[in-house]
Amino acid sequence: MARPRQFDEQNAVTRATDLFWRRGYNATSVRDLGAELKLTSSSLYRTFTDKHTLFLRALDHYRATESAEAEQRLDAAGRPVRQVLRDWMLWLVSCPSDGESARGCFVVNTATELGTTDAQVSQRTEAAFEVTRQALRSLLHEGRHSGELPIDLDIDAAVELLFTTVLGLRVRERAGHDLARLATAIDAVIQALGFTSTQPS
Buried b (16+ CB within 10 A) or exposed e, 56-74: bbbbebbbeebbeebbeeb
pLDDT digits (tens, 9 = 90+) for 67-122: 778 878 888 778 999 999 999 999 988 855 444 567 889 999 999 999 899 999 99
Supply the pTM of this predicted model: 0.85
> Going by C-beta distance under 8 Å and a sequence separation of 6 or more, which residues neighbour residue 94?
179
Domains of the chain: 9-192 (1.10.357.10)
Quote the CA–CA distance of 183 and 192 in Å, as a whole number.
Answer: 14
User: For residue 177, how many C-alpha atoms fall within 13 Å in the half-sphere facing its CB?
Assistant: 16
Quote the CA–CA distance of 89 and 91 in Å, as a whole number.
Answer: 5
